[in-house]
């Protein structure tokens, strides 16, 4: 069994965790409606069945023309073109332009054959019936979307492992791809432990607290693309936790246990994990604050995270390890991007060398720029996070940051 609370840097802990999992996704695939696929992960690459746009289109209201017929045009010496007709929206352009001719077109409409540019309506004026004056020249291709300019027929547009955002869904719909193959969303069992923990709808007796972690973690799981499975509140004791963890291991793809990760007589999470399968506990202790007594484990191919019981600690640690893990289970190929911005600290922030400190901050817009104001509070106070807009990470090689220092704020 590994030596417990032999702390590792977070990046090294995550590396060991992910290396103990299969490189290929272990989650089954399913067919889902593209319209309902926001946040899902593609199981199959998608190639364009046809070009996009499928025909040349105008990007403005105006007149389709042969660009050469407009060269040298100006308000004082306009080019005169005869209007051969109008292209009706939503229909094929039946007009074929010859030299000296133009056709009225509307934004998104098809460009008739013979035309290679569009003059904006405001750069034209009526000369006489069926004739316009062009007051400004256009170049070949100006104000025109060419066939296949966005996507060519057969082009690979989305790769396996892509997380579908709103723009990917729009792109698939534009190509007529109304159903896709997606990895099933991982089922993540959440076990909250402690004799003092009661459901949120209960009235706590003296010495009891409402369950916070189950619900913050459920929201994080959903946001990361998983399906939270609330396994209930487990009383202290190895037998109760072993029974609940064994059941979760059989029915879920991943397990999160809150509380029971620190070293004390009551804390049995690590012992239970060792009984669920090999290799067992990989990391017990991460050099961060809050969240040092974190457990990362794999049991018979299924990942397990043991989190501290304090809500702030549990939330911060889950943010570091949960999303990369769910992405790995589904074979996500893109980088994990965290929204950040730059701000200046309002005050000195002390830290202890040798660990990463995660400091909640509130952002304030001032005439001098964006200011990050630390939100101080113990790790068992959930409203420390509620009052914060982001986290500032103090690297392990420093003993703090000075007031006025420019910092990167991870938005939360």
- What is the per-residue pLDDT across 155-176, written as a single tens digit (0 to 9) for each? 999 999 999 999 999 999 999 9
Cα of 63 vs its chain's centroid, Å = 42
Task: Spell out the CATH class of 32-51+152-183.
Answer: alpha beta
Q: Which of 102-106, 260-264, 308-312, 394-398 has the lowest mean pLDDT?
A: 260-264
Residue 1: predicted pLDDT: 42
User: What would the pLDDT profile of 306-348 be if each residue is shown by its tens digit?
Assistant: 999 999 999 999 999 999 999 999 999 888 889 999 999 999 9
Residue 2: predicted pLDDT: 44
Residue 5: predicted pLDDT: 58
Fold of 340-411: Beta-clip (2.40.340)
Region 187-202: mean pLDDT is 95
Evaluate whether 85 touches 109 at the Cβ level (below 8 Å). no
Indicate the domain borders of the chain: 10-27+185-329, 32-51+152-183, 57-145, 340-411
Dist. CA 66–CA 61, nearest whole Å: 16
User: What would the pLDDT profile of 372-384 be if each residue is shown by its tens digit?
Assistant: 999 998 878 899 9
Q: Which residues of 362-390 are buried (b: 16+ CB within 10 A; e: fewer)?
A: eeeeeeeeebbbbbebebbebebbeebbb
Dist. CA 343–CA 375, nearest whole Å: 15
Beta strand 400-401 with 369-374 is unpaired
User: What would the pLDDT profile of 51-74 be if each residue is shown by its tens digit?
Assistant: 999 999 999 999 999 999 999 999
Q: Which residues of 62-88 are buried (b: 16+ CB within 10 A; e: fewer)?
A: bbbbbbebbeebeeeebbebebbeebe
- pLDDT over 90, % of the chain: 90
Residue 265: predicted pLDDT: 43
DSSP E strands, 106-250:
117-120, 124-128, 131-134, 144-145, 156-158, 179-183, 187-193, 197-198, 209-210, 227-234
SS3 call for 196: coil
CATH of domain 10-27+185-329: 3.40.980.10
Dist. CA 140–CA 142, nearest whole Å: 6
Residue 107 has pLDDT above 50, yes or no: yes
SS3 call for 376: coil
Residue 262: predicted pLDDT: 61
Q: What is the pTM (predicted TM-score) of this model?
A: 0.87
Dist. CA 357–CA 336, nearest whole Å: 21
User: What would the pLDDT profile of 228-284 be if each residue is shown by its tens digit?
Assistant: 999 999 998 899 999 999 999 999 999 999 986 665 645 689 999 999 999 999 999
Residue 263: predicted pLDDT: 57
3-state secondary structure string across 336-372: CCCCEEEEEECCCEECCCCCEEEEEEEEEEECCEEEE
Average pLDDT, the chain: 94
Q: Does domain 57-145 have CATH number 2.170.190.11?
A: yes
DSSP state of 171: H
Evaluate whether 188 touches 228 at the Cβ level (below 8 Å). yes
Which residue is associated with the tokens 């050469």?
Answer: 68
- pLDDT over 70, % of the chain: 97
For the chain, how far is it from start to end, CA to CA, in angstroms?
Answer: 36
């Amino acid at each position: 069994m590994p030596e417990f609370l032999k702390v590792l840097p977070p990046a090294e802990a995550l590396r060991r965790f992910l290396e103990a999992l299969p490189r290929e996704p272990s989650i089954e695939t399913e067919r889902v409606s593209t319209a309902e696929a926001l946040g899902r992960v593609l199981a199959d690459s998608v190639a364009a069945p046809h070009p996009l746009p499928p025909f040349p289109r105008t990007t403005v209201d105006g007149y389709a023309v042969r660009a050469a017929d407009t060269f040298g045009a100006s308000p004082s010496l306009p080019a005169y073109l005869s209007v051969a007709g109008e292209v009706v929206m939503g229909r094929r352009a039946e007009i074929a332009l010859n030299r000296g001719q133009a056709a009225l077109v509307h934004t998104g409409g098809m460009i008739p054959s013979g035309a290679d540019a569009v003059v904006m309506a405001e750069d034209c004026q009526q000369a006489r019936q069926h004739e316009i004056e062009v007051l400004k020249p256009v170049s070949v291709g100006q104000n025109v979307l060419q066939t296949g300019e966005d996507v060519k027929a057969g082009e690979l547009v989305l790769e396996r492992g892509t997380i579908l955002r709103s723009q990917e869904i729009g792109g698939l719909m534009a190509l007529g791809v109304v159903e896709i193959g997606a990895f099933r969303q991982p089922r993540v069992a959440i076990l909250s432990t402690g004799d003092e923990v009661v459901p949120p709808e209960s009235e706590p007796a003296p010495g009891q607290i409402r369950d916070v972690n189950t619900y913050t973690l459920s929201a994080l799981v959903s946001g990361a693309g998983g399906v939270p499975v609330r396994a209930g509140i487990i009383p202290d004791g190895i037998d109760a936790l072993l029974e609940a963890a064994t059941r979760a291991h059989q029915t879920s793809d991943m397990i999160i246990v809150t509380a029971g990760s620190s070293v004390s007589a009551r804390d049995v999470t690590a012992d239970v994990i060792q009984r669920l399968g090999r290799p067992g506990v990989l990391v017990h202790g991460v050099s961060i604050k809050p969240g040092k007594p974190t457990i990362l484990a794999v049991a018979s191919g299924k990942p397990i995270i043991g989190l501290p019981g304090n809500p702030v600690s549990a939330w911060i640690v889950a943010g570091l390890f949960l999303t990369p893990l769910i992405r790995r289970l589904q074979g996500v190929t893109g980088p994990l991007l965290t929204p950040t911005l730059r701000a200046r600290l309002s005050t000195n922030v002390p830290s202890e060398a040798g660990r990463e400190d995660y400091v909640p901050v509130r952002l304030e817009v001032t005439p001098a720029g964006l200011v990050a104001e630390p939100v101080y509070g113990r790790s068992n106070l959930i409203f420390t996070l509620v009052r914060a807009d982001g986290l500032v990470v103090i690297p392990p090689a420093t003993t703090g940051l000075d007031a006025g220092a420019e910092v990167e704020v991870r938005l939360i």
